[in-house]
Amino acid sequence: MAKLAFLGLGVMGYPMAGHLQAAGHQVTVYNRTANKAQAWVEEHGGTMCTSPREAVEGAEFVMTCVGNDDDLRSVCIGPDGAFAGMSQGATLVDHTTVSAKVTRELYAAAKDQGFSFLDAPISGGQAGAENGALSIMCGGDEPVYTRAEPIMQVYAKICRRIGETGAGQLTKMSNQIAIAGLVQGLSEALHFAERAGLDGRSVIEVISQGAAGSWQMVNRYETMLDDHFDHGFAVDWMRKDLGICLSTADETGASLPVTALVDQFYKDVQKLGGGRWDTSSLLKRLRALD
């Protein structure tokens, strides 16, 4: 069993860190809001610290799962950051969805200081984190991935190294691009069925078994039909992710017209007051147009 640190106990990090502790690892946690870390320790055991630097001391692996590029930099860099306390030969595994730019920046900084950095964004939502069934897409040096994979498998359904540093984040961008189109298509299908006077549940029962079936359809259609969106992956975070996708597309020359359009639809949802609604709330936007 390994000595680990987990930095960031949001809706994803909290259960992920819990799985590591339950698997017998020695886990120290840090969260910007200290009472969340205290609650985790009371529930799972382990220890908590008041700074990333303190939390990572002596850890073989450090997991981060925070909000955005700036959050990741702040938890890693600076006198109280993780990099100031990490041991030679240790590995930081970042599960945050961020830009490939900050990933490469932190990879280089870590290498200069004698430890390793792996980008390992996750997909599967809160349920995937709670059930230990996340999809993890990784970028970084192959020997580093090989050492870290058994740790990540504790909360993974699938874990793969895609390529060099940044490849994990680029794969996560592909994931978010696909989700954006899927959710908009599902929202339009349900909206069309409603306007045509069909029973939405009957429609999904049939079409989910054919070529139109998807995870989004199976896991979100009921809450969508019930106009319930106070759960799941928030629109604000999706817009953050799609912004990274669109910015990277400009850099690479990729054309993302549907993604750009859906991003604007999510902006409309925010204007409806739905920044914290689940991404499936695109249907609510269509209903608001009626």
Element containing residue 122 per DSSP (H, E): strand 122-123
Phi, psi of 134 (to 5 degrees): -85, 155
Q: How far apart are CA 190 and CA 290, in angstroms?
A: 14
The residue written with tokens 């920046």 in the block is: 105
Of 172, 267, 271, 284, catalytic: 172
Residue burial 8-20, b: 16+ Cβ < 10 Å; e: rest: bbbbbbbbbbbbb
Q: How far apart are CA 215 and CA 172, in angstroms?
A: 16
- The neighbouring-strand residues paired with 135 are 123, 158
Active site residue 36: no
Angle at which helices 282-289 and 167-195 pack, to 10 degrees?
Answer: 40
First CA to last CA across the chain, in angstroms? 57
Q: How far apart are CA 79 and CA 135, in angstroms?
A: 33
Instruction: Show the tokens assigned to 222.
Output: 């009921």
The residue written with tokens 């359809």 in the block is: 217
* 111 in Cβ contact with 81 (< 8 Å): no
Q: How far apart are CA 66 and CA 7, in angstroms?
A: 7
Residues with a known catalytic role: 172
